[in-house]
Amino acid sequence: QVQLEESGGGSVQAGGSLRLSCVYSGGDPYKKYYWYWFRQAPGKEREEVAMLYDGSTILYEDSVKGRFTISQDNAKNTLYLQMSSLKPEDTAKYYCAAGVTLFQRGFEWSVPPYWGQGTQVVVSS
């Protein structure tokens, strides 16, 4: 069981920056986890924003490439999402998540089993 808790959301003007944090605990020390940031805007499907595996394998959703950076500090048990050049379309509730399999959109079995409660990000134009 992995417990996750996000923080760092807020309201910002377009072009601004925010850093989201996700403190995690628990989990199996002998397993390697895929760490994710997802987001969900009102009326839209949840989408994967970024993924980090084994400290160096990183994937980003196309719309955030070059603007968002996912990172992890294992000493602090914290996952980060640095968001820059924010746009109004980035407005959503952001969730961190973890699992032992790679999430593949359209395959329900691959949805990460562990989720935080989310943190709201609002970007105004």
111: helix, coil or strand? coil
The separation between CA 70 and the C-alpha centre of its own chain, rounded to angstroms, equals: 8
pLDDT at 108: 85
Q: What is the pLDDT of residues 60-103, one digit of tens each?
A: 999 999 999 999 999 999 999 999 999 999 999 999 999 998 99
pLDDT tens string 16-71 = 999 999 999 998 889 999 999 999 999 999 999 999 999 888 899 999 999 999 99
Instruction: Work out the burial of residue 86: count CB atoms within 10 Å of its CB; fewer than 13 is exposed, 13-18 middle, 19 or more buried.
Output: buried
With CA atoms as reference, report the closest residue to 39 among 57, 22, 55. Answer: 22
CA distance 8 to 58: 21
Can you give the pLDDT at residue 109? 84
Cross-strand partners of 89: none
Residues 6 or more apart whose CB falls under 8 angstroms from that of 107 comprise none
Mean pLDDT across the stretch 3-11? 97
Mean of pLDDT values over 106-114 = 89
